[in-house]
Structure formats: C-alpha cells, structure tokens
C-alpha cells in the first residue's frame, strides 16, 4: 500500500473514532438542555454541535455573540431567587487547522422556551474565554427557568468554530439550597420479637418530597406517604432504612438507617399435651430462656414459679407458661386431659361396719346437675337424687326402710356433653 493511501486510511479511521467518541450531545438542542444542579459538576462538550437558525428557532438571537455551534443548559432558581454564578473549568480545546480557540457564553431568560426571539440576556457576556471563566447573573427571579448557552468562536479569521470539552458548576444564592436531611428511629427502647413496632422519620430542607421507601436489610418492604411505618417482622440484628427524593428539578436522594437493632427473643415451650386419669398427677416439662416465669392457673400445681411443677388437676386443664427476659414476655400453653370416665361399682355392703356402707360413684360429684335413680326388679323407683356425692350416696334404704339383699337397677343421667346418653346398669346389695 502506498504512503498516500496509508495516510488517507489513517484520516478516515481517526475521523470515525472522533465521531464515535465525540458524538453530538443531546443538549445540542435547546429543548433537551442539560439541567445544571447545585453541588454537582457536569462534563460538557460542544464538539460536533451545530446551530438552528430559523424564525423562532433556538439560535435566532443576536445578543452577546453570533451562534455557531451552540449547546444548551438550563437551571431553575430557588424559592427566594438571587445571584447565580456558572463556572467553566478544565477547558480542553480541539486543535485543528483554521479552527477557533475561544469559547463564548451567557445566560438568557426566555418568555417562550427555546424561542430565540423571546430571549433576554441576563448574564455577563463572555466572548473570548480560553481557560477558567465565569458567567454571572444577578438578582434573578424566584422559581424561574433560565438558559445557559455556550458557543464556539471563529476568532482570528478561523473558518471552523471552536470546539471544547470542559467542566461546569453552578452556585449562588439564587440556586443554592439547604442540604436535605432525613433521620429514622423507633418509638420503643426495648424491642421484643413478634411484637408490632412503629418506626418514624423526620425530613427537613426537602421540597417536592416523594413517597417514603422503607427497607429491612436492603429489601424494600413498604412505600407510604406517611412518616410512620409499622412492622412485626423485626429480627435481632436487622437494619431499617428509609429513603426519599427531594426537589422536582435536580432531585436529591436522601436516606437514613438505624443501627443493627437489638431484638429480644423469649423462647418458651410449655411441653406437649398429656392425658391422665382422674386423681393422678403429672409433671409439666416447661423450658424457657427467660429469667423469670410462672404457670397459670396455679391452684392445682405444686408450685407455679418453677419450670417443672407437679400438676394434679381434677378436670381437663390448660396450663400456660409465661416467661420474661429483658422486659419482653412470651407464653406457651399445654393441656392436661383428665379421663373422667365414670367408674361405677356394682356391689356395696350397707351393714354398718363403716366400710363400703354406701354406693359410691367416684367423680360423679363433678356433675351437680346429674340425676340418679334406683329401681327394684319390678321397676318401682326406690331412690332418686339430683347431684350425687358422699352426702347423697345411696345407703341401701328406701323411705327409711332397709332394702333386702338383692340386685337393683340404676339409671344415671349425667346431663353433660361428655355423656350424652343415660347410663344404665345393675348393682348388687349384699348384707
């Protein structure tokens, strides 16, 4: 390949590379102006920019300089208005034959967005900048949109407008704003696992706030307009975070997090349910990490304040073990089922010897509404009572007259859902 062809190929590749790297920025157009925000440095370039000249177009103006390859930025003043300063620094010019090497800039107020015929220059006019420079605009109105235009000069007889990359910052009383601040906390000093707690947030210096986003360990769990957040899903070591977006233009995200939360977990296990016969006892097998604990109800326990008391319930009873640790409580329950099957004896000896002189039916006294009737072999009722216990137990008489040794018959209506049908049977009286 000849040297001439190699040079042409190199120029083609270099041009393609420049077009790839320095593609025309969107803010070449006024309607896509780059928003300048306080405390934020932007890197801009007018490389490859052009101009739009026509009636009512964005570059249809004559103030300060003649448009060549303009780029556009915009800013909105704060609620008080005032002075604004736009600073350009770190200027890096393109160096090509017949190309200008000075930059131009000013600030416009526009009655109609991007309509050059409505512009009023409100900023200093810079036309010969080659390095660090400022454009100032004084006493700007509050809550108003302004435009910053940057243009490459054709100075010194250049035929190609200057192209430059640089940093731009904006500041001043007319745009500066207080730094927004958000905090997060919880109303309770002590957190107990499983309970519901309310977290709160305080947001200051934030206009145009969005909804609050609430996170647990970085996972979004709620979005609300309220400054409060309730949850019962807090575990030991969890971190709760709240975030919000402030300001409509040049939004700022703010967030705050709690320290890892200390959540107390009280472990309580009352043991498994068990069944005993009436009159029997059973030891309860409670376990807990609590420092204090108690059982309820306490009346049928050997001690309600130990983990493993002896229980002697007369009837089926549910026992609850409640434990406390570091101000937190938790409970668990178990049931002792008492088998209250009636054991009805079929013989008694009312002979006055003080032993087995009455017909006793253990546990029937637990049913005060029961009905007991005794009949002879011919169906004649000899005895009847409502409620049955030691004082009402049949002594083998009828109307004060001793009954002879024989077989008698009984009907017992317990009148309880555990015994829906009458109990019938026979009893032998022995003398």
Structural domains for the chain: 3-171 (2.60.120.380), 181-264 (2.60.40.10), 268-339 (2.60.40.10), 347-429 (2.60.40)
> Mean of the pLDDT values across residues 40-57?
90
> CB under 8 Å to 43, separation ≥6 — which residues?
165, 166, 167, 168
> Mean of the pLDDT values across residues 328-353?
92
Report pLDDT for 341.
77
Q: Is residue 22 predicted with pLDDT exceeding 70?
A: no
d(CA 258, CA 186): 9
Confidence tier at 333 by pLDDT (50, 70, 90): very high
Least confident span in 122-131, 165-174, 239-248, 337-346: 337-346
Burial group, residue 30, by CB count within 10 angstroms (0-12, 13-18, 19+): buried
Q: What is the dihedral of CA 136, 137, 143, 148, to 10 degrees?
A: -70
Q: Is residue 419 predicted with pLDDT exceeding 90?
A: no
Report pLDDT for 17.
39
Q: What value does the mean pLDDT of the chain take? A: 91
> Mean of the pLDDT values across residues 320-333?
96
d(CA 331, CA 316): 20
Confidence tier at 8 by pLDDT (50, 70, 90): very low
Report pLDDT for 343.
84
Report pLDDT for 3.
45
Strands (E), 365-414: 371-375, 381-386, 397-398, 401-402, 406-413
> Would the pTM of this model clear 0.85, i.e. be above it?
no
> Mean of the pLDDT values across residues 309-327?
95
Confidence tier at 56 by pLDDT (50, 70, 90): confident
> Mean of the pLDDT values across residues 159-164?
96
Report pLDDT for 18.
42
Give the position of tokens 């229980």: 311
Q: Is residue 5 predicted with pLDDT exceeding 60?
A: no
Confidence tier at 342 by pLDDT (50, 70, 90): confident
Task: Work out the percent of the chain whose per-residue pLDDT is above 70.
Answer: 94
């Amino acid at each position: 390949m000849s040297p001439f062809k190699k040079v042409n190929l190199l120029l083609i590749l270099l041009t393609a590379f420049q077009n790839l790297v320095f593609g025309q920025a969107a803010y070449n157009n006024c309607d896509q102006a780059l928003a300048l925000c306080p405390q934020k440095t932007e890197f801009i370039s007018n490389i490859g920019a052009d101009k739009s000249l026509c009636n009512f177009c964005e570059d249809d103006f004559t103030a300060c300089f003649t448009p060549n390859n303009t780029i556009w930025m915009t800013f909105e003043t704060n609620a008080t208005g005032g002075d604004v300063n736009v600073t350009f620094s770190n200027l890096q010019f393109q160096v090509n034959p017949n190309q200008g090497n000075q930059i131009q800039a000013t600030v416009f107020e526009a009655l109609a967005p991007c309509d050059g015929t409505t512009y009023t220059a409100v900023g200093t006019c810079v036309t010969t900048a080659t390095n660090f420079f400022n454009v100032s605009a004084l006493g700007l109105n509050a809550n108003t949109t302004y435009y910053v235009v940057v243009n490459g000069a054709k100075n010194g007889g250049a035929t190609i407008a200057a192209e430059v990359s640089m940093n731009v910052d904006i500041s001043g009383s007319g745009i500066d704003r207080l730094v927004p601040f958000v905090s997060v906390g919880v109303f309770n000093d002590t957190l107990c696992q499983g309970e519901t707690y309310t977290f709160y947030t305080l947001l200051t210096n934030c206009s145009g706030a969005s909804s609050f986003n609430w996170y647990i360990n970085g996972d979004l769990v709620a979005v609300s307009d309220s400054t409060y957040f309730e949850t019962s899903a807090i575990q030991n070591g969890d971190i709760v975070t709240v975030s919000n977006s402030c300001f409509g233009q040049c939004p700022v995200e703010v967030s705050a997090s709690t320290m890892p939360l200390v959540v107390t977990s009280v472990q309580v296990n009352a043991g498994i349910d068990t069944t005993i016969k009436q009159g029997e006892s059973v030891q309860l097998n409670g376990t807990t990490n609590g420092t204090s604990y108690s059982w309820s109800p306490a009346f049928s326990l050997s001690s309600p304040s130990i983990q493993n008391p002896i229980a002697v319930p007369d009837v089926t009873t549910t026992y609850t073990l409640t434990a406390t640790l570091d101000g937190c409580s938790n409970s668990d329950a178990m049931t002792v089922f008492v088998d209250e099957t009636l054991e009805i004896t079929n013989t008694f000896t009312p002979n006055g010897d003080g032993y087995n002189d009455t017909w006793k039916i253990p546990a029937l006294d637990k049913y005060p509404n029961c009905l007991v009737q005794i009949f002879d072999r011919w169906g004649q009722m000899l005895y009847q009572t409502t409620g049955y216990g030691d004082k009402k137990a049949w002594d083998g008489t009828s109307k004060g007259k001793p009954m002879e040794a024989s077989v008698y018959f009984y009907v017992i209506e317990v009148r309880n859902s555990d015994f829906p049908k009458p109990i019938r049977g026979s009893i032998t009286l022995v003398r």
